[in-house]
Amino acid sequence: MKEVIDAESYILGFPEPVQSLLFELRNCIKKTAPQAEEVISYQMPAYKYQGMLVYFAGYANHIGFYPGGSGVAHFFPELTQYKTSKGTIQFPIDKPLPFDLITRIVEFRLQDNINKKKNK
């Protein structure tokens, strides 16, 4: 597997329809958390602000969005139409991404990290 250098090169490694979704997701995260640092972690784009916020990854049939356990648990009632696991949400690539929900999850994770830092 080729080493991933940055988010843009990661995204450009996918077929066009998936690229579009990944670029839209990246823009949504960056708009919601402009103070977050974009990094590569576990060979996928990730965002850090006072700790890790979210990661994302492209797959053949879905976009993996990784807001951690707290992000999935807090929004679980709204995630019933998606495949989820402890820290993962799978958005099908044949449906529009739920940007309102993604924005709220990123905002929640930002506040979650700020609160954790405050309480240390």
Residue 73 predicted with pLDDT over 90: yes
- Average pLDDT of the residues in 97-120: 92
- Average pLDDT of the residues in 16-43: 95
**What pLDDT does 107 receive?**
97
- Of 40, 76, 48, 81, nearest to 62 by C-alpha is 81
**What pLDDT does 2 receive?**
58
What are the φ and ψ backbone dihedral angles of 65, each rounded to 5 degrees? -120, 125
For the chain, the structural domain boundaries read 7-103
CB environment 93-115: b (16+ within 10 A), e (fewer) = beeebbeebbebbbebbbebbee
CATH topology assigned to domain 7-103: Aspartate Aminotransferase, domain 1 (3.90.1150)
Confidence of residue 102 (pLDDT cuts 50, 70, 90): very high
The structure's pTM equals 0.93
pLDDT in tens, 23-32: 999 999 999 9
- Of 92, 116, 90, 112, nearest to 33 by C-alpha is 112
